[in-house]
Amino acid sequence: MTIPTQLVLRAFLDDPTREMYGLEICAASGLASGTIHPILARFEGIGWLESRFEDVDPHEAARPRRRYYQLTPDGAERARLALAQARTKVGMLRDLTQRPMGGTA
């Protein structure tokens, strides 16, 4: 399991019943949207995630509609198991994503 995949799963497992949209997932995982969206599509394709578009008029909201993602009950269980079996632990990865870029920590 790749490091970005682990970070995305951990973001969802922090509160498995919470719906999150792309930028929230980016912030929670420390990853760019170009990295998370293929991961989200893959997990939705295998049934670990469900998604829905919010019911808002983009013109009134002055922004595009958000697509919200949420773990399915089966997906939450499988995500927990997958992270437990992953070779690289997410806790160590979070430490790496919190360090400032381009400098010494």
CB 7 within 8 A of CB 93: yes
Instruction: Determine how many CB atoms are found less than 10 A away from the CB of residue 28.
Output: 18
How far are the Cα atoms of 20, 26, 68, 92 from residue 40, in angstroms, in the given order? 11, 11, 11, 22
Percent over 70 (pLDDT), the chain: 82
pLDDT of residue 105: 47
Q: How far is CA 5 from the centre of its chain?
A: 8
79-102 confidence digits (pLDDT tens): 999 999 886 665 565 565 565 555
- pTM of this prediction? 0.79
pLDDT of residue 104: 53
The H or E element that residue 95 is part of is helix 90-98
